[in-house]
Chain A
Amino acid sequence: MRGFELVHPASLDEAIKLLDVDDPTVRPFSGGTALMLMMKTGVFQPSILVHLGGLEAEHAAVAVTPEGGLRIGALATLTSVEHSAEVVRVAPVIPRAMKRLANVRVRNVARIGGNLAHGDPHMDLPPVLSSLGGAVTVRGPGGTRSIPIEGLFSGYYETVLTRGELITDVTLPSQRGWASAYLKCTTRSADDWPTLGVAVSLKVTDGAIAESRVMVSAATEKLTRLPSAEAVLKGANAGEDAVARAADAAAAEAETIDDARGSAEYKTELLRVYVKRALGEAIRNGAVQ
């Protein structure tokens, strides 16, 4: 690594001001677990890192919203989210997914906002949080806006965040009546980055699927929603037949990509199997009360 300047803003506004420059080597730095890898390999050589640790007191809380959803401060560590009693109650799929997300030490320092802003398509939380209907609140030089997580990513390691914008909160609607599951497949070793991540959420009313969200990551260039699989599920009985047809629709629709973890063709077959398994698991898990 080469030398750079590490600056410590005392407020969100000061951080935004520091980041509102036309220079890609000036970046925000929170847990740093992902950026450090890029810096060590020379993929990223910063001139200034804007360290957000000083904002933790105000931007790391986890709270249940009046509507029964969740508001999670962007600087909450993944460990604090994993063990939050509120998260366990409102969205139990999140702590289940955390068990196999990196490891305890990384989860101790990585922040939920950084995890999303990094734009890495292999991350586990973007599919999970988007399948729950999650959104991020973003603040920048132009003010505050809300972006659905399914629309946050514009490409491989690219997001729709603009100059000086920082994620301040992750919000989730109430999950009452929704059943969710996340499954990933690692093909090289158990702790490898996923080759495929599939997150599904279903709203089942009287045995029929009223609504669903089916998300795929890692096997595609960016987080991708699969509306054709959702169309198959809509109105169908929550059983094996609908699950198998949705899996076929997902495989037909997703644009998987080749990389060191497998060919596009292979990942399409993995997707077919994992959509089937994830839907089955969500149905077995049952709805959040």
Chain B
Amino acid sequence: MDSTSRQIRFTLNGRPVSARVESHLDLVDLLRRFDLFGARESCGQGLCGCCTVLVDGVAVSGCLTLAQLVDGKSVTTVESLDESGELSHVQQAFIDEGAFQCGFCTPGFVMMAHELLKQNPDPNETEIRDYLAGNLCRCAAYPEIIRAVRSAADRMRPA
């Protein structure tokens, strides 16, 4: 055990957990130790959004987050979205609109779309583009993704 590692406790998708964490470990690699593979490291530079997770309710790039710094915090990953047994409105909208091909970037887009709709329940196309500008889809499903976010906004609107 490296001398710079330490024991941390945090809340992971609503459950208290603890882990022994090396100083240089990032949050994406920590999540892998809990068998959570939805946040993926792709660019490793905070540019692509594939590793989007929430820390204390704020969207961050897991690849730029030191794992030791989530000590005492609450971490939420894409795996939390269907814990009820049903897909979230955003997830269902992505499927219905065909908003992906390979799916590698999808968890990041879904997490960011949830954050956008939390802050702005009725975003226009420009607002969607601005908010998701830091998420890259190499299959270029952008038109379908924008439609899916609009569709999710409609589904989430109180009747």
Contacts and interface: CB of A to CB of B under 8 A. Distances in A.
Interface of A: 1-6, 32-33, 36-37, 39-40, 51, 53, 99-100, 102-106, 108-109, 190-191
A40 B63 CA distance: 10
B23 A40 contact: no
Interface string B64-80: 11101100000000000
B134 A106 contact: yes
A105 B48 CA distance: 10
A37 B134 CA distance: 16
Given A32-B64, A37-B45, A191-B47, A105 B23 contact: no
Nearest to A51: B69
Given A4-B23, A5-B4, A53-B69, A33 B59 contact: no
B24 A3 contact: yes
A32 B46 contact: no
Given A4-B24, A102-B46, A103-B46, A108 B4 contact: no
12 contacts: A3-B22, A5-B23, A32-B65, A32-B69, A36-B46, A36-B66, A103-B134, A104-B112, A104-B133, A105-B46, A105-B52, A105-B59
Given A4-B4, A105-B49, A32 B24 contact: no
A6 B46 contact: no
Contacts of B68: 6
A32 B131 CA distance: 21
Contacts of A102: 46, 134
Given A108-B58, A109-B58, A109-B60, 19 more contacts: A3-B4, A6-B23, A6-B69, A36-B26, A36-B63, A39-B24, A40-B44, A51-B69, A103-B133, A104-B59, A104-B112, A104-B133, A104-B134, A105-B60, A105-B61, A106-B46, A108-B60, A109-B65, A191-B47
A205 to B, nearest CB: 35
Central interface residue in A3, A104, A105, A108, by most chain B CB within 10 Å: A105
